[in-house]
Structure 1
Amino acid sequence: MNVIAAVKAYVVKMTEESEPGMKVLLMDKETTSVISMVYGQSEIQQKEVFLLERIDSPNYANSTGLRYLKCLVFLRPTQQNIEALCAELRNPKYGAYYVYFSNIIAKADIKLLAEHDEHEVVKEVQELYMDYLAVNPHLFSIGLPTCMNSLSWQQGALQRTVQGIISLLLSLKKCPAIRFQANSGLCKDLGTRIDEVMSKESSLFAFGQSSQPLLLIIDRRDDPITPLLNQWTYQAMVHELLTINNNRVNLSNVPGVSKDLSEVVLSAEQDSFYAKNIFMNYGEIGQNIKQLMDQFQAKAKSHQKIESIADMKSFVETYPQFKKLSGNVTKHVTVVGELSAMVNKHHLLDVSEVEQEISSQNDHSSHLHSIKKLLSNEKVRNSDAVKLVMLYALRYQNHSSNELTGLVEALKKRNVSERLLRNIVNIMEYAGSHARQSDLFNVENAVKITKRFIKGLSGVDNVYTQHKPLLHETLEELVKGRLKDHLYPYIGNHFSGAKPQDVIIFMVGGVTYEESLTVHTFNKNYPSCSILLGGTTVHNSASFLEEVEQATRNVPRRHTRNIRNIKFD
C-alpha cells in the first residue's frame, strides 16, 4: 500500500489517456494540493500540460481561453465545483474537456453537466479516487486543520473525512473490516458512516481480495503526549520548528536568506537527499550534509575548515558556484542551519530531555525540580515552558503531591499569555485521564528505556528519543493478534476472522511525523504486514494546540474544577 504511487498512477492515467497534444489542467484549491504533493510543476509540464488553472480563481473567470487546447478538468465533486463547471461548459474556453472527479459523483450531477454541455465539448467523465493528500508512501492526510467543536465533529468535517477515506480505499482497491476505539463517539460515527457508504456502493468495493484488510479508527485524545514533544528526526523536526505545509517550508523570516530560498519544497519524490534523510536524526543529517560538502570541497580544491553548521553556511556564501552545482544541498544547509540556530537559541536540547523524561518515566519530585529550573531560564520560550507544564499536568493529574497551581504561578511570572495558560485547562478537558481508553503512562515500560546520545557535528549533541507513541503499543498488539475486541470493536458484517495483512490506521484529530516514523519502522520490522497511517491532518505542537483550543471551545470545565487558584482573567 503506497499512497504516493496510487495518486501518481491516477495522474499518469489522466494526462496520458486523453488525445495527444498540449493541454490545460483545470483544478480547484484542494485538487491542486493533491497534485502538488506528488508532482512538481516541471514534471507535470513534461506530460504535455501547458498551463495550470484554478476554476475557483477570479482571474480564470475573466480569462479568454484557447479553443485549440484540450482541457483536463480535475475537481472535487462538490456543489460549488459542479456549478462552476456547468458555467464553464455553457461558455467553453477550450475545444475539448476530459473531466475527472476526485471521488464518487452523484448521477444527478452527471446529468446536470450533460444538460449544460450544449456545445458537446465533454469527451469523457471519470472518477479518479484522489481525495486525500499523499504525504509519505505510508502516510496520508485529509487536510483538515481542525475537526472538532465542543468535543464533537465539526459541521462538514465528518462528511469530508468519510469522503477522503472512501477515496483512499477505492484508490488502493481495499474493502476492509472496520474497528474503532470503543470509548470514542467520533471514531464510532466515522466508522459507521464509512460502512454505510461501502454498503451503498458495494459494486465499487467488489475487489478480489486474497485476505481482508483492516481499517482501525483511533482518537488523538488517547495520546495527547506525542504532539506536544520536540522532535529530532529530519521531517518531524522541520515540521515542529519551521512547519511543513503541503511539502513547502516558509524560510522568509530566516535572517539573510536569499530570495530564491524564501520558500523551499521538501519532497522525497523530487529530492534524493531528503528521501535518504527523512527519518534520520539531527546529528546524522548534519554528518550527511558535511559529506556532500566535503566532496564539493575536494572538487573546488578548497581547504576552508568545516566543522559546524555555521561553517557550512559560511562556505556556501563564500562559494556561489557551489549553489549552482548543488542547489539541493544549499537548501538543506539553510534549513538545517536554521534548525540548529533555533535549537541553540531556545535551549531545546535541555527542554527536550525533560520532556522525554516526563513522558517516559515516573519520578514526580525529579520532574518537578527539572521543570522549575527550566521555567526560571529566560532563554526557554514561553510555548515550551507551557508544554512542559501540560506534560506534568497530564502525567501527574491524580498525584497526591500535584503542584500544578505553583507551576502556573511560575508561568504567570514569566508573563505567559492568557491564551497559552488557558491551553493547560483545555488539554486536560480534551485528553485528561477521563478521556483516555489506554494506559498512556505505563510505568512498567519505563525500565526498558535507555537514553542514547548521537554525536554529530561539533556543537550538535542530539538527545535521541526515549518516548514511544501510544500507537507503537497498539500496533504491537495488532500485529500479534492481541488487540482486544471490547476495546476496539468491529462495525458491520465485514469481519472475516483472519489476521489482516494490510492495515490502515486512521486517527481522528490528526497524526504526527513521530507516528509516521513508528509505522515506517513497523513496516520494516514486519515485512509480511503492510501498515498505512492517516489522519485528519499532520500536526506539530502549535497546530495541535490550535486543534485542542477549537475542540474545547464552549466546553464547561467538568474535569478541571479541582485545579484551584488558577484564574484566567
Structure 2
Amino acid sequence: MNVILAIKQYISKMIDDSGPGMKVLLMDKETTSIVSMVYAQSEILQKEVYLFERIESTGRETMKHLKCICFLRPTKENIDLLAQELRMSKYGLYYIYLSNVVSKQDVKTLAEADDQEVVREVQEFFGDYIAVNPHLFTLNIVGCYKGIDWSPAALKRTTQGLTSALLSLKKCPMIRYQNSSEMARKLAESVRSTISKDAGLFDFRRTDVEPVLLILDRKDDAVTPMLNQWTYQAMVHELLGINNNRVSLANVPGISKDLQEVVLSAEHDEFYATNMYMNFGEIGNNIKELMDEFQKKSQSHAKVESIADMKAFIENYPQFKKMSGTVSKHVTVVGELSRLVARQELLEVSETEQELVCQGDHSASLQKIKTLLNNNKVTQLDKLRLVMLYALRYESHSNNDVAGLVETLRKQGIGEKHRACVSAILEYGGRKARGSDLFGSTDPVAFTKRFLKGLKGVENVYTQHKPLLYSILDQLMKSKLREAAYPYLGSAQLKDRPQDIIVFVIGGTTFEEAFCVHQFNKSVPGVRIVLGGTAVHNFTTFLDEVQTAGQPVSLSRADAVRR
C-alpha cells in the first residue's frame, strides 16, 4: 500500500489516455496540491503537459491547439465552472477526471453544456487526498471539531477523502473505531454508508485476510502533537513548518533569494528520502560526509567541521551550490534548525518534556518547568507547551501547581487568550475526554514499563516518548486490541492477524506517528500500514485544532520567538 504511487498512477493514466500532443492541465486549488505533492513540474513537462491552469482563473487565453486534461474535485462550484468552460471552450479537446464519485445529475449538467462536443472522456479517479509520504496522507483540514461533535462540512469532506483513499488503494475493509469517541463512530458509519451505496466500486478481489480500517480520535492522545521533535522531517515541521512539502526560510538571517522557500520531497530528493527519519545528530554527520566527498573532488582544503563551516564553504564555492543544490538546501535547513535549537534552549526544554510524559517524578518535573519558565531564551510557545503538558500529566495529582504555573505565564507576558490554552487542553484531551489511560497512572504494570522505558532511553533522553498509536498498533497486530475499546462496525470480525491496516486520526496525526508506522512497516513482515488524518500537526496547528473544539487559542511561531 503506497498512497504516493496510487495518486501518481492516476495522474499518469490521465496524461497517457489523452494521447500524444501538447496538453494543458486544468485544476482547482485542492487538486493542484494533490498533483504537486507527487509530481515535479519537470516530470510532467516530459509528458507534453506544457501549461498548468486553475479552473477559477479568469482571462485564460484560447488555445485550440492544446488538449485539456481537467482534474477537479466534484464540488458544485467546480461543476458549474466546468460547465461554463465547456460552453465557451478555450481548448481543442477535453478529458475530464473527477477526484471522487460524481452524481448522475452533475454528469448530465456537463453533457448539456458540451454543445461543441469537445469532451472525449469523463471519469472518476479517486485521488481526493494529499499523499505526504508513501504511508501517510492528509486532508489538510484544521478545525474538524464543532464543540464535541463534527463540523458537518468537515464530516462530509473527511468521508469523501477517506473513502477515496480506500478506493485508490483498492481496499474494502472491516471497520473498527474508538468506542470512547462519538465522532469516530459517526465517521465509521458514514464510511460504511458510502461503501454500501457505492458497493460496485468497492467490489475488489477478496484476500485471505480482510483489510482493517481503524478510526481514532486525536483527543485520546493530546500529548504527541505537543512535543518537540528530533527526527528530520518532524523537526522541520515543528520548528519551520511544512506546508504541502514547502518550507519557508524567508526569516532565516542572511538567506539568499533562491533559498527563501525550499521543497522537501522524498520523491524528488534522495538526501531527504534517506534522512527524513534520522535523528538530528545523524543528519549533521551525513551532511558532513557529503561535504567531505565534494572537497575531495574539488581538491579544497577548507576546514569543514560544523554547520557554520558548511554554510561558509558553500558561499565560498558557488560551483558547489550549482552542482549540488540539494545539499546546499539541506545545509541551510539544518543550519537554521541548529541555530533555533541553541537560541531557544530546546535541548533543555525537550528533555524536560520527555521526563514529564514518560516518568513520574512530580516534584523534579515541576522544579525544572519553573526554571525554564524564568529562562528568557525559552520562547513563549515552549513555555506554554510545558505548562499544558504538565496540566495533562498531573491533572489528578493532589499537589499539582497548574494555577501557579499559569500565573507565571502571566508574569512572563503571555496573554489571557493563550493562558486559556491550559484549561482548554484539559477540556480537549483530559481524563474525561479520553478513552485511554494515557499515562498508565492507575496500572502498576504500565507504570513499571514506563519507568523501565525511561531508563532504557537514557542514551537518548529526547526520544523516550512513544505515541499511544504505537501500543494500539502493537495490540492490533497481535490480535489483542480490546473489542470493548475498539469495536467492529457490524457483525464481521477478524480471526487472523491483519495484513493491511489503514489508520485514520480525526483531529489530525503527526510526523512522530508517521515515523512509528514506518518502523512497523519495516520491522513486521507481511504487515502494511497506511496512516491518514484530517491534518498533519505541529504544536502551532494543534493549538488551532483545540481552538475550534473549545476556547479560542492561536499562537504563531513568529509570536513565540518574539521576546
Q: TM-score when scaled to structure 1?
A: 0.94
In 2, distance between residues paired with 1:136 and 1:419? 35
Give 2:55's aligned residue: 55
Choose the corresponding residue for 2:502, options 501, 504, 517.
Answer: 504
Worse-matched range after superposition: 75-84 or 443-452? 443-452
Give 1:474's aligned residue: 472
Q: How does 1:418-429 map to 2 (within 5 A)?
A: 418-429=416-427
Give 1:92's aligned residue: 89
Offset of 1:255 from its aligned partner? Answer: 1.0
Contact 2:417 2:552 (8 Å CA) reproduced: no
Choose the corresponding residue for 2:330, options 326, 329, 332.
Answer: 332
In 1, distance between residues paired with 2:533 and 2:522? 21
Offset of 1:452 from its aligned partner? Answer: 5.0
Matched, 1:525 2:523: yes
Give 1:355's aligned residue: 353
Contact 2:421 2:551 (8 Å CA) reproduced: no
Give 2:36's aligned residue: 36
Contact 2:350 2:462 (8 Å CA) reproduced: no
Contact 1:34 1:130 (8 Å CA) reproduced: yes
Q: Kindly tell me: are residues 226 and 190 of structure 1, through their superposed partners in 2, closer, same or farther at Cα, counting changes over 3 Å?
A: same
Give 2:383's aligned residue: 385
In 2, distance between residues paired with 1:302 and 1:487? 62
Partner amino acid, structure 1, of 2:137: F
In 2, distance between residues paired with 1:496 and 1:218? 18
Instruction: Map Cα deviations across residues 323-368 of structure 1 (whole Å, 9 max, x no partner).
Output: 0111100000000000000000000000000000011001111111
Offset of 1:478 from its aligned partner? Answer: 0.4
Offset of 1:496 from its aligned partner? Answer: 4.9
In 1, distance between residues paired with 2:199 and 2:491? 13
In 1, distance between residues paired with 2:514 and 2:415? 32
Give 1:304's aligned residue: 302
In 2, distance between residues paired with 1:527 and 1:171? 23
Choose the corresponding residue for 2:189, options 187, 192, 200.
Answer: 192
Partner amino acid, structure 1, of 2:59: N
Give 1:536's aligned residue: 534
Contact 1:150 1:554 (8 Å CA) reproduced: no
Worse-matched range after superposition: 115-124 or 524-533? 524-533
Give 1:117's aligned residue: 114
Give 2:201's aligned residue: 204
Contact 1:150 1:553 (8 Å CA) reproduced: no
Give 2:166's aligned residue: 169
Partner amino acid, structure 2, of 1:56: E
Give 1:17's aligned residue: 17
Matched, 1:289 2:266: no
Partner amino acid, structure 1, of 2:392: L
* Percent of residue pairs identical: 57
Partner amino acid, structure 2, of 1:22: M
Give 1:446's aligned residue: 450
Partner amino acid, structure 2, of 1:253: N
Offset of 1:543 from its aligned partner? Answer: 0.3
Offset of 1:448 from its aligned partner? Answer: 2.2
Match of 1:447, SS?
helix
Give 1:458's aligned residue: none
Choose the corresponding residue for 2:68, options 66, 71, 75.
Answer: 71
Contact 1:451 1:465 (8 Å CA) reproduced: no
In 1, distance between residues paired with 2:418 and 2:551? 14
Contact 2:479 2:496 (8 Å CA) reproduced: no
Instruction: Map Cα deviations across residues 73-132 of structure 1 (whole Å, 9 max, x no partner).
Output: 000000000000000000000110000000111111101100110000000011111000
Contact 1:305 1:311 (8 Å CA) reproduced: yes
In 1, distance between residues paired with 2:388 and 2:213? 31
Q: Kindly tell me: are residues 380 and 554 of structure 1, through their superposed partners in 2, closer, same or farther at Cα, counting changes over 3 Å?
A: closer
Matched, 1:413 2:411: yes
Offset of 1:209 from its aligned partner? Answer: 2.0
Offset of 1:498 from its aligned partner? Answer: 3.6
Offset of 1:392 from its aligned partner? Answer: 0.7
Contact 1:133 1:143 (8 Å CA) reproduced: yes
In 2, distance between residues paired with 1:22 and 1:436? 55
In 2, distance between residues paired with 1:489 and 1:452? 34
Worse-matched range after superposition: 61-70 or 250-259? 61-70
Matched, 1:127 2:124: yes
Instruction: Map Cα deviations across residues 225-275 of structure 1 (whole Å, 9 max, x no partner).
Output: 000000000000000000000000011111111111110000000000000
Offset of 1:410 from its aligned partner? Answer: 1.2
Matched, 1:101 2:98: yes
Choose the corresponding residue for 1:491, options 482, 489, 497.
Answer: 489
Contact 2:184 2:217 (8 Å CA) reproduced: yes
Worse-matched range after superposition: 523-532 or 276-285? 523-532
Match of 1:485, SS?
coil
Q: Kindly tell me: are residues 414 and 519 of structure 1, through their superposed partners in 2, closer, same or farther at Cα, counting changes over 3 Å?
A: same
In 1, distance between residues paired with 2:378 and 2:40? 38
Instruction: Map Cα deviations across residues 23-43 of structure 1 (whole Å, 9 max, x no partner).
Output: 000000000000001011111
Unaligned runs of 5+ in 1: 455-461, 556-569
Matched, 1:156 2:160: no
Give 1:457's aligned residue: none
In 1, distance between residues paired with 2:164 and 2:303? 53
Aligned length: 545
Give 1:253's aligned residue: 251
Q: Kindly tell me: are residues 104 and 494 of structure 1, through their superposed partners in 2, closer, same or farther at Cα, counting changes over 3 Å?
A: farther
Contact 2:354 2:461 (8 Å CA) reproduced: no
Q: How does 1:365-380 map to 2 (within 5 A)?
A: 365-380=363-378
In 2, distance between residues paired with 1:322 and 1:116? 55
Unaligned runs of 5+ in 2: 441-446, 554-563
Contact 1:174 1:209 (8 Å CA) reproduced: no
RMSD value over aligned CA atoms? Answer: 1.3
In 2, distance between residues paired with 1:492 and 1:271? 44
Match of 1:448, SS?
helix
In 2, distance between residues paired with 1:350 and 1:499? 42
In 2, distance between residues paired with 1:420 and 1:319? 46
Match of 2:348, SS?
helix
Q: Kindly tell me: are residues 401 and 453 of structure 1, through their superposed partners in 2, closer, same or farther at Cα, counting changes over 3 Å?
A: closer
Choose the corresponding residue for 2:311, options 288, 306, 313.
Answer: 313
Offset of 1:493 from its aligned partner? Answer: 4.7
Matched, 1:80 2:84: no
Give 1:181's aligned residue: 178
